[in-house]
Amino acid sequence: MVARPALRRVAIPSSLRTSTTHLESRISRSPFSTTLQSRNNQKPNNNNSVPEYAIPDPARPTHFGFETVTEAEKRERVAGVFTSVAESYDRMNDLMSFGWHRVWKDHFVSSLNPGFTPLTAPGSSPLAPQHILDIAGGTGDIAFRMLHNAHVINGNQDVRVTISDINPAMLTVGKQRSSALPASQQAVLSFLEANAEDLTQTKPLGANQVGYSPTNGIPDESVDLYTVAFGIRNFSNIPAALREAYRVLKPGGVFACLEFSKADKHPLFNTIYKQWSFSAIPLIGQLVAGDRDSYQYLVESIEKFPSQEDFRDMIVDAGFVVGGKGYEDLTGGVAAIHKGMKPRRK
């Protein structure tokens, strides 16, 4: 008798709250939720037409951590975050993941096994050198491992790696670190400043902005392996980036992504992990890097990134084919590796 009105009183604000969070999530996911609408409007199976949500639009809302901002604003603010963390980025990675990110990265690279060419295979005509494009590869963590795997483990010098990043500060850190590599590896390494959503316009690191004509983009079907490790969640428009990856890859080329993901399958572990990431990581960021906001953004962006299955569907939607279920969970799903292959032309 008494409980009922009390219940109702509670129920009204809570229903309001859920409706607002719904609205919020609809706004913040708007590049993705328009997916369905525009796909419905679209005429079926016109492969060349790019859906509307995959065309970068500076005014379209997207999310920056838990905030909703426009795509252009996100680009600026992500640039701000990474410019401010560039120097301490690697040290922070070690502190945040107890060094475990190295294990993930090693596994990622060895599962791709770049430069693997069995010489005994019949018809092993010297194929064109393998070209690896490491997007958002700023400090070179993945690229250096790729080179080591190809040159040292597989003994294949015919592999070149392009490190691309939108942020010159991160690239500069990578450039400095690359000076410790053997000369043969430095020779095949190049640094490129580019926006992953539009790789038709790139500029080499350090090229003078004035008088430099940004025409030498990455041509169609020129890349064997496109990798992006812990970068894609910072993109303003992920579908556009996936389509750009599809464009630059050769038929048979592989898109591989290492990214934080959802550990929902293990509730207890997930609780501890969430607790750690939301309370400890910003604190470590404040103490070590003197920048709490940037690390707050990092954990929020992990939370906002789509689940394994959703991201796999986005990859398939961009035209890739996946093997098996299309992803591999690492450490119970804290991170996941997604791979897709550009199919052969019919």
Partner 1 sequence: MRPSPTPLRRAARQILSSSFTTIRAAAPAHRSLSSITTTSTGSDCTCGNGRTTARRPQIQSNQNPQQQQQQRSSYHSYDHPSPPASFTPVEESILSAAYLHVPAHGFTSSALVAGARDAGYLDISPTILPEGAFTLIRYHLVKQREGLAARAREVFGGEGHVGAYKLGGLSEGEIKGRVEALMWKASREQGGYWTVAGAIMAQPSYVPPSLKELALLSDEILFLAGDSSVDPSWYTKRVSLSTIYAAAELFMTNDHSPEFMDTRAFLNRRLREVNEVGGVFRNMREWVGFTATAGVNVLRSKGVRI
> Which residues lie near partner 1 (CB under 8 A)?
111-114, 116-118, 120-124, 127, 130, 224-225, 250-254, 256, 321-325, 328, 339-341, 343-344
CB of 331 to partner 1, least distance (A): 15
Bridge-based pairing state of the strands 130-135 and 223-229: parallel
Q: Where are the alpha helices (DSSP H) in the chain?
A: 3-28, 30-41, 71-85, 89-97, 100-112, 141-147, 168-178, 183-187, 238-248, 267-275, 281-284, 292-304, 308-317
CA-nearest of 131, 315, 156, 134 to 223 is: 131
- Distance CA(316)–CA(319), nearest Å, equals 5
Q: Is 196 annotated as a binding residue?
A: yes
- Distance CA(68)–CA(74), nearest Å, equals 9
Q: Give the residue with the Cβ less far from partner 1, 55 or 127.
A: 127
Q: Is 317 annotated as a binding residue?
A: no
A 10 A CB-CB count for 323 gives: 8
Q: Give the residue with the Cβ less far from partner 1, 6 or 119.
A: 119
**What residues contact 85, with CB distance under 8 A and at least 6 apart?**
92, 289, 291, 294, 295
The dihedral sign for the CA sequence 38, 41, 46, 48: negative
Q: Give the residue with the Cβ less far from partner 1, 29 or 339.
A: 339
Q: Give the residue with the Cβ less far from partner 1, 214 or 251.
A: 251
CB of 324 to partner 1, least distance (A): 4
CB of 209 to partner 1, least distance (A): 34
Q: Give the residue with the Cβ less far from partner 1, 44 or 323.
A: 323
Q: For tokens 């008088």, name the residue.
A: 211
CB of 115 to partner 1, least distance (A): 9
Q: Is 195 annotated as a binding residue?
A: yes
CB of 340 to partner 1, least distance (A): 7
Can you say which residues are annotated as belonging to the binding site? 139, 165, 195-196
Can you say which residues are annotated as belonging to the binding site for S-adenosyl-L-methionine? 139, 165, 195-196
